[in-house]
Structures are given as structure tokens and as C-alpha cells.
Amino acid sequence: MSNVISFEVVENTAVITFNNPPVNALGHAVRSGIVDALDKANNNVNVKAIILIGGGRTFPAGADITEFGGPLLEPGLPEVVNLIENQTLPVIAAIHGTALGGGLEIALGANFRIATKEAKIGLPEVHLGLLPGAGGTQRFPRIAGAKASIELMTSGTPIRASAAHKLGVIDKIANDNLLDSALSYSNTIIQNKLPAVKTSERTDGLQDKKSNKEAIENARNALKSKAGGLHSPFRIVDCIEKALNSSIIEGLKYERDAFIDCLNTPQREGLVHAFFAERKSSKVPEAGRAAPRQLEHLGVIGGGTMGSGITLAALKSGMQVTMVEQDSGSIARGIQNVEKVLDRDISKGRLDLSGKAEIMGRYTPTTDFQNIAEVDMVIEAVFEEMEVKKAVFKKLDNVVRQGAVLASNTSYLDIDEIASATKRPRDVIGLHFFSPANIMKLLEIVIPSNPYDDVVATGFLLAKKMRKVPVRAGNCHGFIGNRILSIYGELAAYLVEDGATPEQVDTAVRNFGYPMGPYQMFDMAGLDIGWANRKAGASSRDPKRRYVSIADRICENGWFGQKTGKGFYEYPEGIRFGVENPDLKQIIETERSKKNIIPKQFSEQEIMRRYMAAMINEAADVVHEGIALRPSDVDVTLLYGYGFPRYRGGPLKYADMYGLEKLAEDIKEFEKEDPIFWKLSPLIEKLIKENKNFDSLN
Ligand code: 3H9
């Protein structure tokens, strides 16, 4: 038998243990191992019942995701679950940790399920563009009915053992020792000859036909607006409906076909890529070479939007935070910013008063810099201007203890120059938080030229504590995300000057899967920021490079987007999304006529062909120059910070799926129109020459 499954007999019970760390994924060796172990149990006359239990930290957390897209290796998981269900001996699943996906389906193949009270069960396949494909869509509804099944499978969110117990999916909550509890349960089953009912023969969930039918109808209606472009939630509902109306054999066949259908979609490929990319991004060389420094107490400089967002993220992760502001008015605003969010959490039932008191007990607002002298890390979150930041770092250098990490929250600025304001530049890193910093998951960790390894490792530890997705970024203007954004933002401006409307660009980008288009985003973020950046960079701009002045003309009117009620769109009071700005047409036409541009028609497809080519080409340069460690880090950045549709995997995964040769042809075609903006990235050329793709560099 393979070593990923172990087998022992305790009194009259065979105990089959999954030993495939870290999450007991149900890869081929595990599946074969279960078949062998069941065989062994059946051949032992002393064995009267079988327990399936996870070794290590969890019951299996699902099929082995790395196998998707490869050949289907026998025995498949559906067959293994059927085999478990068809045992003549009673089978008990003993669950701890997270029984997810195929893991829960294995448990549903058993006749009895016992779980620790901390255990969670779930069918999260939807997050991978899939549906439960080993009987989950057929067995779960037979116990729990349509509504609970739809909720579990279309949200992908696991539920606690107590909730599963209420649904009838878990039969028993274990005492502290799961194996002991399961063995004693097994003895009870053997001695009392408890009926070992197959889940596929249960009908508890099928009784209330009316509410099941309603649940299916409601789900289909809700998904029209909630599915976010995903294919598999609809197929999940189809499968659950089938479970309500068909035999198990028909239902399992239907589920299998639907699963294969989902498996073969580009959405599955994109989502599986995103799953692994997210996990890879925290693996960086520095953290491999050094342990992080101590990180319990954070100093935050600034109580504005970013400073208080960072403070909240740190407080919620259990850290102690000292927030410094320059005067009593500013610190009062900082306190207010922090309390406002906590009070909103209370009003939404996410926090209670004692929880707030506990959090506030770890928060020290002050106007005295000396109060951060002993912290482990300082994050400066003052105005995004080099001289202001350098002045703060100079001051920090004099105040904060040696050994503390000094970090700057910056979205564009040169971190080496900021570090040069101190006598300890190797203790400095950049941390690019995204606003609101207590909500947004992405954290770009910006690496200056020669930091200490443990300083970088501490940055990654901070991300872990705050439950953020960290990405290591090299030091350049805008790092990974904003650097790429500035290029596709420029392209969006070309499209409008050449004939598209901002609405057409936004619609095309939304139909691609983004929650909003670039012009809606610019209006939301505030047009004044970009305007200030453009003015600051005017002297260093290549005069030969195409420059579109439409946004400047808008700003000159004092229209900065949502906050002034007008920008690329107009925002009459009470409206959430912008409506057409009636003055914009004139501005655009004037700018076009200054350059003798005859407006062209752009199809949605053409808009996206150019938009994606610009984004990917810059992303490739970001990898080529070593600003990103690997292509998947760029994907993670754009997925978590810029709204790139997750089911497309990120821009460089999308590029692989689109085809690098086709992409290079597009770029060369555009280069004829504007050879300064369009220059095929050397990395794309290299990959094509070597017959490789971006994924080969991950
Ligand atoms: C399925 O079951 C389909 C069936 O219905 C039908 C089939 C026919 N496979 O997340 P972590 C790796 S679809 C392979 O950092 P945590 C992960 O990459 C599956 N590898 O830990 C990482 O590797 P590394 C349905 C997996 O404690 C390491 O394990 N199930 C798998 O933060 C640790 O992971 C799911 O979608 C896997 N299934 O979270 C569950 N899972 O160390 C997916 C994890 O090299 N998994 N790895 O970076 C999870 O949600 C989380 O991993 C879990 C633990 C909550 C379990």
C-alpha cells in the first residue's frame, strides 16, 4: 500500500488514515491507497467497521488541484467515493480541520460522519471554476435539501461542524480526541447494529418539494446578477436540480458531464492558476534566507485615510499600534477614522463593545514622536511627496531604536532615495498598501537596492499577520501595479482621443470581467492625483511620446471625478454610477481637432485587443527587468489590487492563453501607428523564440 495511506486494526475497526501533508489532497496515490486499504479491511475477518480519518492537520481538503488539466488517472475520485459507499461494512468518516471538496465527498460516501467542533466542511470547487464532481452535488442535497446545498456550493464558503450537524450532514460532534470518539462511535454502531444507510439512498432533503423548487428558481434568478461572469455556479444549480428529480445513477452521470464541461473551460484554468499564484507570491528568497525580526508593536506615522487603514489592519491582526500625528487636531481625526470603522463593525454585528474595548486598548494615539522609540516597525503614511517623506525618515532615524524596521507606505516613490535620508538604509522597505488599507488584500513589498534579508522577511510577516496577499516588488516608478496601470491608462486615453468614448472603453473592460472600467476608476480615485503626477513629470517626459491632454482639460475646470460631482462622468446627487458628462464631448473634439485626428470606430474586441496588449507588454517588461520575481506575481498584483477578473488568471496567464505569437503580431501591428509607445517586450520575443510561455517562468 502507498505510504500516503496507513492502515491499522483497532479491536474490530479498521482505521484508514490519510497521510499526504499538508492538506491530504486526494491525488492518484491517495486514491489508489484507499482502494487497497478497503480491500485489506474486507479481507480481515475481525474487521466489522471502517474509519476514515485524516493524519496531520486535516481531513482531505479536496482533490489534488495540481492534477487538473492533466490526464484523468484511474481510479477517479467518483469511483473511489462510490466504492466507499458500496462497502458492506459500515464506514465512518472522522473529520477534523477542513473537509473540503473531494474530502467532503469522501465523507458523504461514508454512512456516518463524526467531526470535531472546530472542524469545517465545504464544497469550494466554485472558486476553481468547477463543481463538486465526486457525487457532492447529488449526495449533499439528499440530506440537506436544495437551499443549503445551493448556498454551500455556489458561495464556496465552508460551514462549521455545528451548522453541518443541524443540517444532518454531520451525525455526531466528537469529544476532544477525535480518534477515540470515532472508535467509540464505531463500537456503538457495531454492537447496536445501527443501520448503515447510504447517503445516496437518503431522502431527508428531498421531502419538501415546494421549497426545493423555489430554491432552484431563486438561485437561477439571483445568479443572473451575482455570478460575476462565472460559468460553474449555473451548472451547480443544474446538478442540484437533477439530484432532486432523478435516480442517483442518472444524477451522478449528469454531474460527471457537467464537471468535465467545467474542467475544460478557460475559467477553470484561470482560477486554478490564481489559486497557486496567490500561494507562491509569499515565497521570496530573502524569507528563505532569514527569519523575520520581532513584530508585535507597530508605529504608524499619520492618521489620514492610509494611516488609519493600516492602523486598523494591524489592530485587527492583534498587534499593538502607536499612531503619531503632528498636532492635536490631526490626531483627533486619526482617532475618529479608526473608531468610525470599529463602530460600523459594531452596527453590522461583526464586533461587540468588549471587542472594541480590547482593540482600543492596543491603540495609542499620540503627538509625541518619542512614543514610537521602542516599536518593532514603523510605517510612515504621510503625504506622497519625496521631501515630506525624507524629512519624516530623518526624524525617525533619530528617534526609533536600532533594529526596528522602517517602512514607507508609498505608491510610486523611489524607496532608495527615501532610505538615503537615514543612517540605516538597509533597515528600510517600501510597503504599498491599497486603499482602504484595512480591506484591500494586496500589499506590494518594495525592495530597495540592498536591504537586510530579515527586514524583507519582516515585511512578509506583517502581510501574513494582516492576512494580506504580499507581492515582492522591485524599486521603480509605480512598482509593479501602478507602473502597469500607467501604461494601460495611457492606452485608454489614446483610444478616446482616436474615437472611442470613455463609456465605450469602460463597457468593453467591464464586459471583459472587470468590476469597473478605467474611466470610472479614475473618477473614483480622483483625477487631481494623476494631474499632479503629470505636472510633476512634465519636464522629464519624452517630447516625442504621444501625450493626451483630455484629462488635463477636465481638471482645469476643477472637475476631479466623483468627489467634485464631475469628471469623465457626471455624478448628480444620489447617483452611484456616473452618467454622461455633457461637456466632455466638446473637450474631446477640441483636442482631436488640434491634432487633426479623424475619429475612428472601435469595436469592443478591438478596444480589448489594444488594452490587453498594452497591459501585457508592460507586465512582461516588469518581469524582464526583475521588478517582479515571476509572472504569477504580476498576475496576483493585478487580481488583488486592480480588479482584473480572477477567472482569467491575471494578465500574463491571459497572455499564455491568448497565445504569445498572436500577441506579438498585435503589438507589431500597433507599432506601425506609434513606434514610441509600442515596443515589443524583449521577454515576449525571447519566450516565443524558445517556444515557452510565461508560466514556464513561474
Ligand atoms: C475538488 O475537490 C474536486 C472534486 O469535487 C471532484 C474531483 C473529481 N490540492 O492554502 P495553504 C497546497 S477541487 C493540491 O497555504 P492554509 C497549497 O498549494 C478541490 N494542493 O494552507 C499549499 O502548497 P505550498 C476542492 C493543495 O492552511 C499547501 O497545500 N478543495 C490543495 O492557508 C498549503 O495550502 C479546495 O478548493 C489541493 N486541494 O489553507 C481547497 N489545497 O505549501 C483548496 C492546498 O506548496 N485549499 N494545497 O504553497 C484551501 O482552500 C486551503 O489550502 C486550505 C488550507 C483551507 C485547505
Question: Which CATH number fits the domain that encloses residue 560?
Answer: 1.10.1040.50
pLDDT tens digits, residue range 293-335?
A: 999 999 999 999 999 999 999 999 999 999 999 999 999 999 9
Examine the pLDDT at 507 and tell me if it is beyond 80.
Answer: yes
Among 427, 457, 476, give the residue marking a domain's end: 476
Q: Are residues 498 and 553 located together in one domain of the fold?
A: yes
Per-residue model confidence as pLDDT tens digits over 188-246? 999 999 999 999 999 999 999 999 999 999 999 999 999 989 999 999 999 999 999 99
Distance 696 CA to ligand 1 centre (A): 22
Indicate which atom in ligand 1 lies nearest the CA of residue 102.
2
Separation of alpha carbons 229 and 643, rounded Å: 14
pLDDT digits (tens, 9 = 90+) for 394-411: 999 999 999 999 999 999
Report which secondary-structure segment, H or E, holds 671: helix 660-673
Residue with CA closest to ligand 1 atom 56: 61
Query: What residues does ligand 1 touch, defined as CB less than 6 Å away?
Result: 22-23, 25, 61-66, 77, 98, 100-102, 105, 124-125, 128, 130, 132-134, 136, 276, 279
What is the number of the ligand 1 atom nearest to the C-alpha of 100? 30
Pocket residue to mutate for ligand 1, from 65, 120, 283, most atoms within 8 A of Cβ: 65
CB–CB of 507/626 below 8 Å?
A: no
Distance CA(81)–CA(105), nearest Å, equals 7
Cell numbers at 149, concatenated: 446545498
Q: Please give the mean pLDDT across all residues of the chain.
A: 96
State residue 431's pLDDT score: 98
Instruction: Judge whether 567 lies within some domain.
Output: yes
pLDDT of residue 298: 98
Model pLDDT for residues 66-85, shown as the tens digit of each residue: 999 889 899 999 999 999 99
Q: Whose CA is nearest to atom 50 of ligand 1?
A: 61
CA of 436 to the centre of ligand 1 (A): 28
In a domain, 357, yes or no: yes
Rounded average pLDDT over 455-475: 98
Last-in-domain residue among 223, 244, 264: 264
Atom in ligand 1 nearest the alpha carbon of residue 283: 48
Going by alpha carbons, the residue nearest to atom 53 of ligand 1 is 61
CA of 25 to the centre of ligand 1 (A): 7
User: Do 227 and 297 fall within a single domain?
Assistant: no
Query: Whose CA is closest to atom 48 on ligand 1?
Result: 279
686 located within any domain: yes
What letter does residue 180 receive in the DSSP assignment?
H
The yes-or-no verdict on residue 2 having pLDDT over 80 is no
Determine contact, residues 607/495, Cβ cutoff 8 Å.
Answer: yes
Residue 37 predicted with pLDDT over 60: yes
The pLDDT tens digits of the residues spanning 335-375 come to 999 999 999 999 999 999 999 999 999 999 999 999 999 99
- Within a domain: residue 283? no
- Does the pLDDT of residue 56 top 80, yes or no? yes
CATH of the domain at 401: 3.40.50.720
Instruction: Mark whether 105 is an active-site residue.
Output: yes
Task: Say what the pLDDT of residue 181 is.
Answer: 98
- Residues 214 and 303 occupy one common structural domain: no
**Do 490 and 507 belong together in one domain?**
yes
If one compares 430 and 176, the residue with the highest pLDDT of the two is 430
Ligand 1 centroid to residue 214 C-alpha, Å: 33
- pLDDT of residue 123 exceeding 90: yes
Protein residue closest via CA to atom 9 of ligand 1:
64
Instruction: Give the Cα separation of 516 and 507 in Å (integer).
Output: 8
Write down the pLDDT at residue 52: 98
Element holding 9 (H helix, E strand): strand 5-10
* 514 shares a domain with 456: no
- Ligand 1, closest atom to CA 279? 48
**Atom 54 (ligand 1) nearest CA:** 23
Instruction: Return the H-helix or E-strand segment holding 419.
Output: helix 415-419
Determine the distance separating the centroid of ligand 1 and the alpha carbon of 100, expressed in angstroms: 9
Q: Which H or E run includes 428?
A: strand 428-433
Q: Domain for residue 575, yes or no?
A: yes
Is-catalytic flag, 74?
no
- Of ligand 1's atoms, which has the minimum distance to the CA of residue 131? 5
DSSP code at position 569: E
Domain shared by 329 and 386, yes or no: yes
Joined together, the cell numbers standing for residue 661 give 505569437
Which of the following is catalytic: 105, 325, 503, 618? 105
Q: Is residue 273 part of a domain?
A: no
Output the CA 266–ligand 1 centroid distance in Å. Answer: 20
Phi, psi of 11 (to 5 degrees): 50, -115
Q: Is the pLDDT of residue 529 over 90?
A: no
Rounded distance between C-alpha atoms, residue 175 and residue 117, angstroms: 8
- Report the atom number in ligand 1 closest to the C-alpha of 63: 2
Do 531 and 437 belong together in one domain? no
Residue bearing the CA closest to ligand 1, atom 47: 23
Over the stretch 597-632, which tens digit does the pLDDT of each residue have?
A: 999 999 999 999 999 999 999 999 999 999 999 999
Place of cell 491575471: 650
Answer for the pair 94, 161: CB distance below 8 angstroms, yes or no. Answer: no
Residue 570 shares a structural domain with residue 618: yes
Do 345 and 488 share a domain, yes or no?
no
Angle of helix 518-525 versus helix 502-512 axis, rounded to 10 = 110
| Domain assignment of residue 276, yes or no | no
Of 454, 476, 498, which closes a domain?
A: 476
Ligand 1 centroid, distance to 232 Cα (angstroms)? 19
Q: Is residue 580 part of a domain?
A: yes
Domain that holds residue 448: 292-476
Question: Looking at residue 156, which CATH number applies to its domain?
Answer: 3.90.226.10
Specify the pLDDT at position 536.
84
Give distance in angstroms: CA of 279 to centre of ligand 1. Answer: 10
Question: How remote is the CA of residue 170 from the centroid of ligand 1, in Å?
Answer: 22
| 151, pLDDT greater than 90 | yes
Q: Residue 291 pLDDT more than 70?
A: yes
| Protein residue with its CA nearest to atom 32 in ligand 1 | 279
Name the closest-CA residue to atom 19, ligand 1: 62
Q: What is the pLDDT of residue 1?
A: 55
Burial (0-12, 13-18, 19+ Cβ within 10 Å), 502: buried
> Which atom belonging to ligand 1 lies closest to the Cα atom of 128?
36
- Give CA–CA dist 680/665, Å, rounded: 9
Q: Does residue 241 contact residue 659 with C-beta atoms inside 8 Å? A: no
* 505 and 546 part of one domain: yes
Catalytic residue among 79, 85, 118, 125: 125
Same domain? 19 vs 94: yes
Counting from 1 in the atom list of ligand 1, the atom nearest the Cα of 65 is 9
> What is the Å distance from ligand 1's center to 264 Cα?
20
110 in the same domain as 22: yes
Count of structural domains within the chain: 3
Using most ligand atoms within 8 A of CB, pick from 23, 83, 160 the residue to mutate for ligand 1: 23
For residue 70, the model assigns a pLDDT of: 87
State yes or no: pLDDT of 576 exceeds 80.
no
